[in-house]
Chain A
Amino acid sequence: QQKVQQSPESLIVPEGGMASLNCTSSDRNVDYFWWYRQHSGKSPKMLMSIFSNGEKEEGRFTVHLNKASLHTSLHIRDSQPSDSALYLCAASRGSALGRLHFGAGTQLIVIP
């Protein structure tokens, strides 16, 4: 069983709508969460990271973290067709080796 669980597996939202993606780690030693975005046929690129309780906003993207439950969520407001991609959540322990444990991803489709 993967240490990082993401839900839903896939999500369809209309253009201009809000997309909400979830991620939970079962490893209580993690202290940093990452969201990567991967467009079809491309490599993953880091979107946002968070390590403190609360939320972090960058443009249309907001990340929440609850460290007690090891749950993070990514919210995309005013979704655009260009946001259609695989969103990967990852968790790390902050060691010097920088190992990331990835979830299986959420496939987001934004319909015009």
Chain B
Amino acid sequence: EAAVTQSPRNKVAVTGGKVTLSCNQTNNHNNMYWYRQDTGHGLRLIHYSYGAGSTEKGDIPDGYKASRPSQENFSLILELATPSQTSVYFCASGGGGNAEQFFGPGTRLTVL
């Protein structure tokens, strides 16, 4: 089965601090995605990538940057964290088109 891992699994950050969330996939999928999940909103797409070196804005990109240095790794960067970014973040990988997306275990981020 597809394998997507995330680190850290839990993170407490201070307002104004920099936070980097990491994601690794061993599926050799071209596409990777970052979502956040908040009660009442389901999963909302922040950034995605269709290959190494590419990043695209999703539906809620403000306050976030992304980096895809290799096929396997995709990072989400919060340069100046705010309490409104407290959430659970999921990374996913997929083959594109109408292929299934496989999700990592999630990172719970709390910004104080």
Q: In the bound complex, do residue A98 and residue B95 qualify as a contact, i.e. CB atoms below 8 Å apart?
A: yes
- Give the interface residue-count category, chain B: 20 to 34
Tell me, yes or no, whether B74 is within 8 Å of chain A by CB: no
Q: Which residues of chain B are near A68, meaning CB under 8 Å?
A: none
Q: In the bound complex, do residue A97 and residue B96 qualify as a contact, i.e. CB atoms below 8 Å apart?
A: yes
| Interface residue stretch chosen among B12-20, B62-70, B77-85, B102-110 | B102-110
- Shortest Cβ distance from A38 into chain B, in angstroms? 9
Q: For the complex, what is the distance from the CA of A83 to the CA of B75, rounded to whole Å?
A: 33
Return the chain B residue nearest A95 by Cβ. Answer: B97
Q: For the complex, what is the distance from the CA of A66 to the CA of B99, rounded to whole Å?
A: 21
Q: In the bound complex, do residue A97 and residue B100 qualify as a contact, i.e. CB atoms below 8 Å apart?
A: no
User: A99 is contacted by which of B41, B45, B95 (Cβ under 8 Å)?
Assistant: B45
Q: Which residues of chain A are near B42, meaning CB under 8 Å?
A: 2, 4, 6, 88, 102-105
Tell me, yes or no, whether A92 is within 8 Å of chain B by CB: yes
Q: A88-B43, A97-B96 are in contact. Are A43 and B101 (CB under 8 A)?
A: no
- Shortest Cβ distance from B85 into chain A, in angstroms? 19
Q: In the bound complex, do residue B31 and residue A97 qualify as a contact, i.e. CB atoms below 8 Å apart?
A: yes
Q: In the bound complex, do residue B90 and residue A44 qualify as a contact, i.e. CB atoms below 8 Å apart?
A: yes
Q: For the complex, what is the distance from the CA of A86 to the CA of B42, rounded to whole Å?
A: 9
Tell me, yes or no, whether A94 is within 8 Å of chain B by CB: yes
Q: Which residues of chain A are near B56, meaning CB under 8 Å?
A: 97
Q: In the bound complex, do residue B97 and residue A98 qualify as a contact, i.e. CB atoms below 8 Å apart?
A: yes
Return the chain B residue nearest A107 by Cβ. Answer: B39
9 nearest A-B pairs in the assembled complex, by CB-CB distance: A43-B103, A102-B42, A102-B43, A98-B96, A104-B42, A32-B98, A96-B96, A46-B100, A98-B94
